[in-house]
Amino acid sequence: MTEYVVLLMGDAERWWTDLTEEQRKEGYAAHGHFSAELERRGHKITGGAELHRASEARSIAPGADTVTEGPWAETAEQVGGFYVVESDDLDDLMECCKLLAATGDAVEVRRTVTDQERAS
C-alpha cells in the first residue's frame, strides 16, 4: 500500500470562532462519514490530527535562529488538520476526499516519501 497525507486547507481561525455548535457537529459528522467510507472502500487511516489555530503557531524562518509567533506564511488558508492514509487506489481515495471538500475546505493529497526513495 502507498501512504498519503490528506491535508485539510481552510480558514483555521473561522472554524471555532464563526461556526455554531450545530455547524461544528455537522463538520465532525462529515469527518466520521469520511473515515467510515475510507474503511468501507479498503483504505486505512494510520494517523492524523485536527490542528489548533494557525495564530497559535510558532515559526522559524529559513536560516534564522529566532522564533516568531504565528504561522510561517501569512495567508487566509492554513492547514487545519490532516489524515495519514494507506491506499492502493489514489483515484478512489480522491473520490472519498470529495466528502471533506464538501464541508468548505480545500483538500490536498500528497504521497509520502518511502524509505526506499530516501535511500536512493
* Residue ranges of domains in the chain, CATH in brackets: 2-60+68-119 (3.30.70.1060)
- Average predicted confidence (pLDDT) for the chain: 89
Q: According to the model, what pLDDT value does residue 91 have?
A: 97
Q: According to the model, what pLDDT value does residue 41 have?
A: 98
Model confidence over 59-74: pLDDT tens digits? Answer: 888 898 999 887 766 6
Residue 97: pLDDT band (50, 70, 90) is very high
Spatial CA neighbour of 42 closest among 6, 81, 7, 2: 2
Q: According to the model, what pLDDT value does residue 48 have?
A: 97
Mean of pLDDT values over 94-108: 93
| Residues composing the chain | 120
Spatial CA neighbour of 79 closest among 110, 98, 51: 51
52 vs 54: CA distance, rounded Å: 7
